[in-house]
Chains A and B, each alone.
Chain A
Amino acid sequence: MDAWLFNERTGGLAATATDGVEECGSAKKFSIAEDPDTVVCDESFVHKTILVGDSGVGKTSFLVQFDTGKFQHGCFAATVGIGFTTKTVLTPEGSVKLQIWDTAGQERFRSITHAYYRDAHALLLLYDVTSKSSFDNIRAWLAEIKEYAHDDAVIVLIANKADMQSSRVIRREDGERLAAEFSVTFMETSAKNGHNVTHAFQMIATNLRQRQYFPRSKLINITPADDDVPPSNRSSCCGR
């Protein structure tokens, strides 16, 4: 499969559009008809989305806000290991199932979280607008993502805690400039008041959904097909 992937990549996009579907296991998940308007995507397919960033930038709060619409006031409790949540996002094109991995920001978990980068279809990289160090570390995070994550993964840079205007130290322009430099999407959010939180996930879902149509994305979608678990089970095992 690896060799095949390699050929796919070097062989050009047009040639692989139909071949890939016929050959690989991902054909079970979606089919591409001749006419792009009649494309049918398998909605049970789970897109893996991973939240990364320094400890304390609000990854868990961001996810909880998205999942439950609530914000946990009070003290900060560091995430241990990796948390898994499955959530279905409705986009204009249909629903998209996201399996969201909330990782711990601490240094000692890096080696564990790296292992999960490779499978991720989308990465949400967060920093805290009130913490300069979390912003400064973004470059290191992006370098890590480049090293471990798949080239085609959707990357979104999130400037969290945008509600805290009084203690803000990172301007919006700084974030935008950095995002442009690495050509990733940028967004300011607030896990506290919910600003842009759902929007961020919806954007990812739309993006992932669109990528399913294009051959390039097959490189991503093939990965789960390597597992023995059939797609229907995969979604139910993580469903809650």
Chain B
Amino acid sequence: MSDIEHVEGRVREIHLAAESATILDAVENLSPGSISEPCFDVTDSSNDVVVVVGGGFPGSTESSRGSFSRTLHHSSGSITQIRAANVVDVDQQTVIARTERVPAKEASDYGEEMVRKVHMRSRGGSMEKSEILTTETVSCVDVEEDIADENAEGPLHVECTSSYLQEGVTQPHSDQQDEVDSSKPLPDQEELDYTQIPEWRNQRRQLFVFSNSGKPVYTRHGDEDRLVTLCGVMQAIVSVVNDTNDNQLWSMRAIGTTISFLIRTPLVLVTVAKTGESDRQLVLYLNYVYDFIISVLTAPQLSRIFIRYPNFDLRRMLSGTEKILDRLVDWFDEDFGFLLGAVRCMPLPPPLRESINSLLTHSCQKTPNLVFALVIAKRQLISVTRLKKYILHPSDIRILINLVDTSDSFKTAEAWIPICLPKFDAGGFLHAYIHYLRESPVCLIYLAVDPSLFHSLAQSSANFVSKMESSGNLDSVLAAMSSTAFYTVQQTSVVELRHFVYKASSAAQLTSPVIGHPYVDEEGRQILRGFYRYLHRKMHCPTRAAKIIVVTSNTEMLLGWVSGTFELYAVLEPSITKHQAVLAIEKLMRWMKKEESQLFTINSQVFS
């Protein structure tokens, strides 16, 4: 179930403001929205099945659709449209299909027919592949129905002009299959087709990576070998659209589900998401996955492999990294910071942070050929220093932290690994020296260009560790980690506040308190993450970006505020007035100013 749609269902008012001097002005000058006409981005939540095709970024294509618009009939009488930009000239006779008693899933079915049609045109109607695809897209679940009762979906009946459709659609939907518990592991019988398994189909987010030749490279759920056919079908869809001039497939939408494509030759990345994220956010997600693959192989090596062997099985080169990538994509779901392009920083007393910063910078200054050095703990940044002129991108830090934290072998021994940081230089490897300090969770990472530097870095690390120990800094960090590193929202003494995420834009770092009542359990956390994704989507919508958004519902008030120096996303008590909300946020901002040096490592540490 999508949290964002969940919010929308309960929303009473939405206010948008473009330019205002203060948050107070902004909110006071707003004209209120109404229940009947909320200021939603209509295409996001309407019942359309939209296939977005275009040459540019997904957002930019929305205004340029047009030449193709087809009406489909169904028994309830409402009209669903399939729209696309200047392509896919589909034969009307075969697309139109009649459906009877289609609860909840009708739009998905049309989407699927559309997809089927595209596929049939490309391969002359391979029946087997069509069926597989059908079961995949039928799994799109209508969110609004979902809220009412997740398990109450009736059987689906579709009568159609095409024999493929009949066989494909009616078969997989029995009542029994709709009783789903997505937490159960996937059944492992070889003969079972994943697309027939409800556990697999109902995952909130699917991820597929395959090569241009359609060979699977990675799938988040299930075994790649058993998804070969599905990858082949997706590759066919992609190539049909891409074969037309200047077009690229970006996304397909059905109710509650968005299928997003990222084509980075020689790879194609696809996600099927029921998370209510925007195209932009999904592309960001796919970009992280692509960057991860580059971090293992480097871009030139990747393209070289596929130029020489176009049907190479890339899993051979990526073997051993599956768990690391699994963890990365799961982390993306858990941490809002991925969307913000910011890294989490561990709160530490300012003098301690200063001292660690200077120790680290000092140790780097004495080591030639070093580019970056970081100290991390528990997936959070403690200190970072860089060679003059070079910048370490937050997304690279994320990939690095994920790799270091997921691989257990680093914890027992010093390690020396090649890693490519795609945002820094996708063309080559850096070499990372990784050392956990005294087997504590605190980890030191040096990044150097020269592959023969291990011994001098080990030496430098030994110096750093002994200084950290003798100055007592290591113990202070460990002590801080168990006490001050995690703060609650109560410590801000803003009573109206339930939770917030604050990003310091200049440092690309974010901070947020531990999640408290009423979002403590997993479901609550998911709802909270949904709120933030929703606010982020609205505030960074390319056609209607907002500086301040206030959303009020029966259960909470959401507030988003983006300025040049920070981004703030907050969840407040629902019962307060706008005025109180503004006062609360201003109080929070004062607290933030005061605690800034504790929460972030603001001053950029540079050595030369």
Interface residues of A (CB under 8 A from B): 55, 60, 63-64, 67-68, 72, 75, 77-85, 102, 104-109, 112, 115, 227, 229, 233-234, 236-240
The residues of A that contact B455 with a CB separation of less than 8 Å are: 227, 229, 234, 237-238
Contact string against A for B residues 402-416, beta-carbon threshold 8 Å, 1 for contact and 0 otherwise: 010011111011111
Classify chain B: how many residues form its interface, as a range.
20 to 34
B416 touches A84 (CB 8 A): yes
Please report the C-alpha to C-alpha distance between residue A145 and residue B60 in the assembled complex, in whole angstroms: 56
B309-331 interface code vs A (CB 8 A; 1 in, 0 out): 00000001111110110000000
- For the complex, is B418 an interface residue (Cβ under 8 Å from A)? yes
| Distance (whole angstroms) from the CB of B251 to the closest CB of chain A | 32
Chain B residue numbers with a CB within 8 Å of A60 are 409, 412
Interface string of B430-442 (1 = CB under 8 A from A): 0010000000000
**Is B316 touching A107 in the complex (CB atoms < 8 A)?**
yes
**Complex interface: chain A residues within 8 A of B323 (CB):** 75, 77-78
Provide the residues of chain A in CB contact with B403, threshold 8 Å. 80
Q: How far, in whole Å, are A93 and B362 apart by their CA atoms in the complex?
A: 43
Give the docked Cα–Cα distance between A107 and B317 (Å). Answer: 7
Other-chain contact of A112, B317, B409, B418 (Cβ < 8 Å) = B418
Residue B297 CB within 8 A of the other chain: yes
**Are B296 and A108 within 8 A (Cβ)?**
yes
Q: Of all chain A residues, which has the CB nearest B409? A: A79
Q: Cβ of A80 and Cβ of B407 under 8 Å apart?
A: yes
Which of B296, B323, B408 has the largest number of chain A CB atoms within 10 A?
B408
Do A240 and B317 have beta carbons less than 8 Å apart?
Answer: no
Q: Which of A83, A105, A106, A112 contacts B451 (CB 8 A)?
A: A112
Asked if B520 is at the interface of the complex by the 8 Å CB criterion, the answer is: no
Residue of B nearest to A106 (CB): B320
- Contact assessment for B316 and A84 in the assembled complex, using a CB-CB cutoff below 8 Å: no
Known: A77-B409, A83-B415, A104-B320. A237 touches B458 (CB 8 A): yes
Say yes or no: A81-B412 contact (C-beta < 8 A), given A108-B317, A112-B451, A237-B459: no
CB distance from A54 to the nearest CB of B (A): 11
The verdict on A102 contacting B319 (CB below 8 Å), with A81-B418, A112-B418, A233-B459 known, is no
Known: A108-B297, A234-B455. A84 touches B320 (CB 8 A): no
CB distance B414 to A240 under 8 Å? yes
Q: Please tell me if B417 contacts chain A, counting CB pairs below 8 Å.
A: yes
Given contacts A55-B320, A80-B320, A238-B458, contact A72 B408 (CB under 8 A): yes
B407 close to A67 (CB less than 8 A) = no
Chain A residues near B296: list those with CB within 8 A.
108
Write out the residue numbers on chain B whose beta carbons fall within 8 Å of the beta carbon of A72.
Answer: 408
Q: Any chain A CB within 8 A of the CB of B462?
A: yes
Q: Which residue of A lies closest to B297 (CB)?
A: A108
A129 to B412, CA, bound (A): 25
Chain A residues with Cβ under 8 A from B318's Cβ? Answer: 108
A109 contact set on B, CB distance < 8 A:
418
19 contacts between A and B (CB under 8 A): A63-B413, A64-B412, A72-B408, A75-B323, A77-B323, A78-B319, A78-B320, A78-B321, A80-B320, A80-B415, A81-B416, A81-B417, A83-B413, A84-B414, A84-B454, A105-B320, A106-B320, A227-B455, A237-B462
Which of A83, A107, A238, A239: most chain B CB closer than 10 A?
A83
Contact residues in B for A115 (Cβ distance below 8 Å): 451
CA distance A107 to B297 in the complex (A): 12
Cβ–Cβ < 8 Å partners of A55 in chain B? 319-320
Hey, which chain B residues are within 8 Å of A85, CB to CB? 412-414
A72-B408, A80-B417, A237-B462 known; 11 new pairs, CB 8 Å cut-off, are A80-B320, A80-B321, A81-B415, A82-B416, A83-B410, A84-B416, A85-B413, A102-B409, A112-B451, A233-B459, A234-B455
- With A and B bound together, what is the CA distance between A238 and B435 in angstroms? 11
Are B407 and A77 in contact, CB atoms less than 8 angstroms apart? yes
What chain A residues lie within 8 Å of B409 (beta carbons)?
60, 77-80, 83, 102
Q: List residues 262-309 of chain B with CB under 8 A from any CB of chain A.
A: 296-297
**Lowest 6 CB-CB distances: which A-B pairs, in order?**
A81-B417, A78-B320, A83-B413, A237-B459, A85-B413, A79-B409
Q: Find out whether the CB atom of A106 lies under 8 angstroms from the CB atom of B319.
A: yes
Chain B residues within 8 Å of A238, by CB: 414, 455, 458
Q: Which residues of B sit under 8 angstroms from A68, Cβ to Cβ?
A: 412
Residues of A within 8 A of B418 (CB): 81, 109, 112
By a CB distance below 8 angstroms, the chain B residues around A82 are 415-417
Cα(A68)–Cα(B408), bound, Å: 15
Q: In the complex, which residues 456-492 of chain B have their Cβ closer than 8 Å to any Cβ of chain A?
A: 458-459, 462
Residues in A with CB closer than 8 Å to B316 are 107
Measured between alpha carbons, how far is A240 from B321 in the docked complex, in Å? 28
Q: Which B residue's beta carbon lies closest to that of A85?
A: B413
State A67–B409 Cα separation when bound (angstroms): 13
| Residues of chain A with a CB closer than 8 A to B413's CB | 63, 67, 83-85, 102
Give the shortest distance, in Å, between B218 (CB) and chain A (any CB): 15
Shortest distance between the CB of B271 and any CB in chain A (Å): 25
User: What separation, in Å, do the CA atoms of A83 and B458 have in the docked complex?
Assistant: 12
CB neighbours (8 Å) of A75 from chain B are: 323
Shortest B301–chain A CB gap in Å is 9
User: Which residues on the A side are within 8 Å of B414 (C-beta)?
Assistant: 83-85, 238, 240
Q: Separation in Å of the A86 CB from the closest CB of chain B?
A: 9
How far is it, in angstroms, between the C-alpha of A63 and the C-alpha of B411 when the chains are bound?
13
Residue among B296, B321, B418 having the largest count of chain A Cβ atoms under 10 Å: B418
How many Å from the CB of A56 to the closest CB on chain B? Answer: 9
CB nearest to A68 among chain B residues: B412
Determine how close the nearest CB of chain A comes to the CB of B444; give it in whole angstroms.
13
Contact between chains at B415 and A84 (CB < 8 Å): yes
**A77 — which chain B residues lie within 8 A by C-beta?**
323, 406-409
Tell me, rounded to whole Å, the shortest Cβ–Cβ distance linking B513 to chain A.
32
Q: B458 — nearest CB in chain A belongs to which residue?
A: A237
Residue of B nearest to A60 (CB): B409
